[in-house]
Chains A and B, each alone.
Chain A
Amino acid sequence: MDNKVVLEVKNLVKQFGNFTAIDDISFEVKEGEILGFLGPNGAGKSTTTYCILGLIIPEGGQIKIFGKDVLKKRSEIMKEVNYASAEYNLPWNLSIWENLLVYARLYEVKDAKKRITELLEIFEMSHLKDKAIRDLSTGLRARAILCKALLNKPRLLLLDEPMASMDPDVVDKGIKLLKNIQKEEGITILYTSHNMWEIEEVANNVIFINHGKIIAQGTPLELTQKVLKHEGEEANLRDVFIHLSRGGA
């Protein structure tokens, strides 16, 4: 079945002075797909994500979400998009409930209280709703941020290392919860991470980017077979990552 294209990045170029952060990259993400976005530090992953969010203006190329140009219709598009990164917090002094209420209003969520209650149940945080963000553990904070990211039932979710610096148990729980809700609500996800296991668990397809260029793409298994040149039946993105990061073809 031919799924609709949710995100279309075409010939994207971003330069910071003489440094080319993104060098003419193009890719698509189809409805319901989870695309893993991989690359070493400084490869251009976060810059691409910020361009998609309209927080960095590129020098060239075009980004379309739901067929609309991000730079022209940003506000309209972002109602159906959401974003989460472990790098950013929710205000520490507000409770989880208050934070989610504020973001529900920002995203104009209808029946906000019902949606918040539903998400807190899914993420097993109902009993913590009145706790301030500062009083939560790192893992619980990540779950609160994921609740924020799912508030508006986004059609496209941009996750930029959402589980960074979390222990494997927290990552495992987070991934399972995310996969369940993704399946249930049919969310399209662009997932950036350095944790290869995480990507193998969630992604249908993977793009590998280095020095601002796409250097490999395919399913995790295809990439493993192509890059490592063996016929194994299990994806091994960790070795693929090391191979490609060190300049291998």
Chain B
Amino acid sequence: MYLFIYQEGEHDVILGRSPVSKYGVNSATTPESRFWTRSKNSLARMTEGSMNFNRISAIILRHYFLTLHQMERFFDVLIAPILVLIMWGFLSKYVQDIQSQTLAAFLLGGMILWVVFEKVSTDIGVHFMFDIWDRNIINVLASPITFAEYLAALISVSFIRILLSLASMGIMAAVFYNFQITVLGFGLALLWVNLFIFALSFGILNISLVLRYGHSIGPLTWILPFFVQPFAAVFYPLSILPPIFQKIAFVLPIAHVFEGMRFTFQTNQFDFTNFWWALGLNAVYLSASFAFFAYTLRSALRSGRLVKLI
């Protein structure tokens, strides 16, 4: 039996138990319909109709100050990606000597683009966790900021950080390994957009899981991207995967991005088929992650979990 809830303005009003249909449950209050209705209402509540860029910039300013004060954040943006690049650079150089230049490009290009996905997807969740660990989250959320603005700020911070990482890796790869990621041309930007959107979906999923299960689930933030890696075909073509893995890979936008990257390296042409597949799938994943976030947020606001995150 479900409580029958209707909306009066922004208030949920509990009337009592719902009338039961011949299927046993009122069709208007099935778990699925409630999920979408609540998600939609929560999205409206999250934005309150508009976004305030002053408040978004406040959170970005805080992350700028934090990066200046905490060397580990600087390390995370510039040094860690460069260290990974050095390792893969040597491996690619070795492969280039014994095999082919294309394979070396696959490896190095794959690694540089994988970092985009891995960093953005973890950054969003980690920045949220930092606010919890600092015991600052309630001070922030008690301010006029809306949840949509807060999320937009975390996404913006990740965007800035990944641009810095990508630029530093691109320069290092060009200088030390004579590898120009820019040979992908405008296609690089398109591949990057799809990677960024898919990583956003993961980041938002991370925050939703923390809202739902508390900060003890935080370490999952670092692990989740690696669940995808075997199917993403970052360093090898999709065709070498077993058929069942290929089917899983097909529904992941990231696998289309890396297939597209390899196609461009091989043919010097942009792979629009894989690009559109990735974009379409991304639209589904991003919508689903926003809906899930809105649903868990509403549930956290109702159950009091939001104020018990610390």
Contacts and interface: CB of A to CB of B under 8 A. Distances in A.
B134 interface: yes
A159 to B, nearest CB: 12
Contacts of A87: 135, 138, 310
A135 B206 CA distance: 32
Contacts of A148: 139
B138 A55 contact: yes
A56 B69 contact: no
A53 interface: yes
Contacts of A74: 48, 144, 146
A90 B130 CA distance: 12
Contact of B55 (A71, A106, A132): A106
Contact of B146 (A75, A90, A107): A75
Contact of A53 (B55, B57, B65, B142): B142
For A14, A76, A82, A89, which residue has the most chain B Cβ atoms within 10 angstroms? A89
B91 to A, nearest CB: 36
Interface string A51-78: 0010111011010000001011111111
Nearest to B65: A98
Interface in A65-103: 69, 71-79, 82-83, 85, 87-94, 98, 101-103
A183 interface: no
A55 B14 CA distance: 19
Contact of B144 (A16, A59, A107): A107
- Interface bin, chain B: 35 or more
A91 B144 contact: no
A105 interface: yes
Contacts of A89: 134-136, 139
Contact of B69 (A14, A69, A132): A132
A121 interface: no
Contacts of A16: 303-304
Interface string B131-172: 000111111111111100000000000000000000000000
B138 A47 contact: no
Nearest to A92: B134
B85 interface: no
A50 interface: yes
A90 B304 contact: no
B142 A55 contact: yes
A83 B139 contact: yes
A108 interface: yes
A: contact size bracket: 35 or more
B63 to A, nearest CB: 10
B58 A105 contact: yes
B143 A107 contact: yes
B61 A72 contact: no
Interface string A23-43: 000000000000000000000
A46 B138 CA distance: 12
Nearest to A21: B304
B304 A105 contact: no
B166 to A, nearest CB: 26
A26 B48 CA distance: 27
B273 interface: no
B302 interface: yes
Contacts of A132: 69
A16 B59 CA distance: 32
Contacts of A60: 13-14
Tell me which of B12, B59, B140, B143 has the highest count of chain A C-beta atoms within 10 A of its own C-beta. B143
A55 B143 contact: no
A90 B69 contact: no
B39 to A, nearest CB: 15
A103 B138 contact: no
Contacts of A57: 12, 298, 301-302
B16 to A, nearest CB: 13
Q: Which of B58, B142, B145 has the most CB of A within 10 A?
A: B142
B54 interface: yes
A21 B304 CA distance: 11
Nearest to B143: A106
A76 B302 CA distance: 21
B126 to A, nearest CB: 14
A137 B137 CA distance: 21
B70 interface: yes
| Best-buried of A21, A79, A98, A106 by chain B (most CB within 10 Å) | A106
Interface string B24-54: 0000000000000000000001001000101
A129 B14 CA distance: 50
Interface of B: 9-14, 45, 48, 52, 54-55, 57-59, 61-62, 65-66, 69-70, 134-146, 298, 301-304, 306-307, 310
Given A71-B10, A87-B310, A105-B58, 8 more contacts: A71-B11, A72-B10, A75-B146, A89-B136, A102-B58, A103-B139, A106-B143, A107-B144
Q: Identify the 3 closest CB pairs spanning chains A and B, nearest first.
A: A105-B58, A78-B144, A83-B142
16 contacts: A47-B304, A53-B142, A56-B302, A57-B12, A57-B301, A57-B302, A69-B10, A71-B11, A73-B48, A75-B146, A88-B136, A91-B136, A101-B61, A103-B143, A105-B58, A132-B69
